[in-house]
A and B are shown apart, each in its own frame.
Chain A
Amino acid sequence: MKLTPFLLVLPAVGYIVAFSFFPTVDAVYLSFQDPHGGLSLHNYQELTYFNIGGAVLDTVLVTVGALLIQLALGFLVASVLSREFFGKKALSTITIIPMGVATVVAAITFSFIFQTSGGYANTIIHSLFGTNVNWYQTSLSSLIVVMLADSWKNTPIVSLILLAGMSSIPRELYYSAAIDGAGPFRRFVHITLPNLRSFIGVALILRGVQEFNIFALPLILIGDHPPLLTTLVYNLYTTTFPEVGLALAAATVLLGFILVFMGVVIKLTGGRST
Chain B
Amino acid sequence: MKWSYIGAIVVGAYFLFPLYVLFLLAFNSPTFTILARYPALLPISLTLNNLVVSLQGSAFIDPLIKSLETATLVGVITLILAVPAGYGLSRLPRTVAYPILVLLLVTNMMPAIVIGIPIAVEFIKLHLFESVVGLALAQTLITLPLATFILQGTFSSIPQDLENQARVDGAGLLRRLFSILLPIAAPGIAAAFLISWMFSWDEFTYAILLIPFHSTLPVTIYSDVTRGNLLAGVAFSLVFTLPVIVLTFALQKYLRGEYLAGGIKG
Contacts and interface: CB of A to CB of B under 8 A. Distances in A.
A15 B87 CA distance: 17
A126 B41 CA distance: 12
- Interface majority SS (helix, strand, loop, mixed), chain A: helix
B126 interface: no
B218 A104 contact: yes
A1 B121 CA distance: 41
Most buried by B among A112, A124, A161, A242: A112
A101 B104 CA distance: 26
Interface stretch (B5-13, B158-166, B182-190): B5-13
A135 interface: no
Given A96-B252, A202-B265, A209-B109, A164 B257 contact: yes
A92 to B, nearest CB: 9
Contacts of A109: 18-19, 21-22, 25, 237
B74 interface: no
A81 B8 CA distance: 8
Nearest to A126: B38
A260 interface: no
Interface in B225-266: 225-226, 233-234, 237, 240-241, 244-249, 252, 255-258, 260-261, 264-266
A15 to B, nearest CB: 6
A189 interface: no
Interface stretch (A24-32, A44-52, A137-145): A24-32
Given A15-B144, A152-B15, A209-B109, A24 B39 contact: no
A15 B261 contact: no
Contacts of B118: 23-24, 26-27, 30, 244, 248
A219 interface: yes
Contacts of A199: 257, 261
Given A20-B115, A77-B11, A251-B111, A123 B40 contact: yes
A102 B173 contact: no
Nearest to A4: B173
Contacts of A254: 111, 113-114
B14 to A, nearest CB: 7
B110 interface: yes
Contact of B119 (A19, A85, A124): A19
B112 interface: yes
A105 B221 contact: yes
Contacts of B113: 213, 215, 230, 233-234, 251, 254
A41 B93 CA distance: 45
28 contacts: A1-B93, A5-B91, A9-B84, A9-B92, A11-B84, A12-B148, A13-B104, A77-B11, A80-B7, A93-B252, A100-B241, A100-B246, A103-B202, A104-B204, A105-B240, A106-B18, A109-B22, A112-B39, A113-B17, A120-B39, A123-B40, A156-B15, A163-B257, A164-B257, A205-B264, A212-B111, A254-B111, A254-B114
Given A97-B245, A109-B25, 4 more contacts: A6-B92, A15-B81, A20-B115, A234-B113
The 8 closest A-B pairs by CB, nearest first: A164-B257, A8-B88, A100-B248, A12-B85, A118-B37, A8-B84, A5-B88, A9-B88
